[in-house]
Structure 1
């Protein structure tokens, strides 16, 4: 699988169940969200515009995704709603590693890196003066994806999150998504 096929496999509507743990105090919080992921081609205006904002050549764009969500953490009373635009850009001949641009209303334009390993686990890394975020995504089946993330901020705030997401609408990409099988030697 390459990065374009990975993006395609994410298209659709997902039900996300999330558990977050702030590493500064005991306990965790959980929540649910509906997540819609729409695939964007490299030639779509949103992708080109994001490349221009990041001062990068739009010709390097491989694909993009528009991710919208609405959900709520268990301890909150107000629903969280948002949209993020992602664009994967080639930085060489290997399509499975490169630069990732992210436009998020709350955080503005962020630039990071992506790496799609031979195990078909996508690792996204974003670092700036105000945060370090590492997210890993993989498929346990065609309609079940898993995500983990680790967020660190200079003020000492750190959190870890695990999400399990079930596709509840939309179609699976033409590229079949095989479950990741791991084994360990005893």
Structure 2
């Protein structure tokens, strides 16, 4: 799998259930969200703007996606909603990994590109580090309509949070199998 295929398979409407464990406080919390993931053309204005914010030539982008969410957390039942744009910029010498640009909402923060790569099981590994936090997230498909995520977030101030998220596709389906894949699945 590559980043373009991963973004395409992720497109659609998802129901997300996340359980987070705050290790320093020995507390857990649950959240539920509806998530909409849309693929964006690499020449989309939001993609070009994001590349410019990171001082990256927009022609280096291989694919992009927009993620919108609307959900609640058990502890406060307050609505949490928002959206972000992600843009992949593969490494020139190894296109299976690269930079992941993310829209920054806080204008006071300097944009920091994350890194992506795929492990031997085809899971997408995202790593982000700046002056205050380190985060690693592993995403994979258990089936075309079930996506899983695990995340570890560490603050350089001393707290850590881990989370597990399951996402069930509620609408929009992944692209049909390629003819060669369909033939292989029928013959096996």
Q: Which residue of 1 aligns with 2:100?
A: 100
Choose the corresponding residue for 1:117, options 119, 124, 127. Answer: 119
In 2: Cα distance, 1:173 partner to 1:27 partner: 40
Q: 1:7-26 CA distances to partner (integer Å, 9 max, x unpaired)?
A: 10000000000000001022
Q: Which residue of 2 aligns with 1:50?
A: 50
* Number of aligned residues: 177
Match of 1:28, SS state, is strand
Cα offset, 1:116, TM superposition: 1.7
Unaligned runs of 5+ in 2: 182-188
Contact kept? 1:11, 1:173, Cα under 8 Å: no
Which residue in 2 is equivalent to 1:146?
Answer: 148
Partner Cα distance (1:175, 1:76) in 2:
42
Q: Aligned pair 1:164/2:169, yes or no? A: no
Q: Which runs of 5+ in 1 are unaligned?
A: 178-186
TM-score in terms of structure 1 length: 0.89
Deviations 1:36-56 (A, max 9, x none): 100112121111111111001
Correspondence list, 1:37-76, <5 A:
37-76=37-76
Change (3 A) 1:36 1:151: same
Per the alignment, residue 78 of structure 2 pairs with 78
Q: Looking at secondary structure, tell me which structure has more helix per residue.
A: 2
CA distance in 1, matches of 2:163, 2:153: 9
Shift of 1:28: 1.1
1:141, distance to aligned residue in structure 2 (A): 0.1
Provide TM-score, normalisation by structure 2.
Answer: 0.88
Per-residue deviation, 1:59: 1.3
The residue number in structure 2 matching 1:183 is none
